[in-house]
A and B are shown apart, each in its own frame.
Chain A
Amino acid sequence: RKEVEQDPGPFNVPEGATVAFNCTYSNSASQSFFWYRQDCRKEPKLLMSVYSSGNEDGRFTAQLNRASQYISLLIRDSKLSDSATYLCVVTIQGAQKLVFGQGTRLTINP
């Protein structure tokens, strides 16, 4: 079983729609949680950290459920420029590395 699992998609949604991604992690020692964004043939870039209390950054909302070992990302009023692969990322306590899910591919259609 992969340490971080995501629905690979692809998700195809119309511009302006709301879209949600889910991610589960298997290691209960997971310590920090992030969403990264990766455009085609580009490097990953940090989108936002995810906190237990939930956090919002403009149109993006991230949630963490430690009991269920589940992370989510919600994108409201989606834009064409949101088209990318979204990577769910965790760190494991005591390990200095990022553990990546395989990513969820999102395409926003005009």
Chain B
Amino acid sequence: GAGVSQSPSNKVTEKGKDVELRCDPISGHTALYWYRQSLGQGLEFLIYFQGNSAPDKSGLPSDRFSAERTGGSVSTLTIQRTQQEDSAVYLCASGGALDTQYFGPGTRLTVL
């Protein structure tokens, strides 16, 4: 069956521009997570959605970062006024329980 998909796979942008990253979770999965992985670093939690509950935004690094999940399915991560330190691979995962998180292939963001 279809796994988690993310788009675009690669994004190059200029400092100061806004970017939107998209995640399509596995159908039926109620939980959706965003992480980011900077070069040589471990994965860093950003935000978590579970059903209709208020999202856990505790990992968002600044107010330039926001995310939405529409209709309990597709999610968009938005980064406003991008900075060079935002360059990373942004990974989305979906699942029903913590030990069944399935990751998408990620979006590699490069801010010039």
Contacts and interface: CB of A to CB of B under 8 A. Distances in A.
Contacts of A91: 98
A97 interface: yes
Interface of B: 31, 33, 35, 40-45, 48, 50, 56, 59, 91, 98-101, 103-106
B37 to A, nearest CB: 8
Which range holds the interface residue count of chain A? 20 to 34
5 contacts: A32-B99, A45-B103, A96-B48, A98-B45, A98-B101
B42 A100 contact: yes
Interface of A: 2, 4, 32, 34, 42-46, 49, 87, 91, 95-103
Contacts of B91: 43-44
Contacts of B42: 2, 4, 87, 100-103
Given A97-B33, A97-B59, A32 B43 contact: no
Contacts of A44: 43, 91, 103
Given A2-B42, A43-B104, A96-B31, 11 more contacts: A32-B99, A43-B103, A43-B105, A45-B103, A46-B99, A46-B101, A97-B56, A98-B33, A100-B42, A100-B43, A103-B42
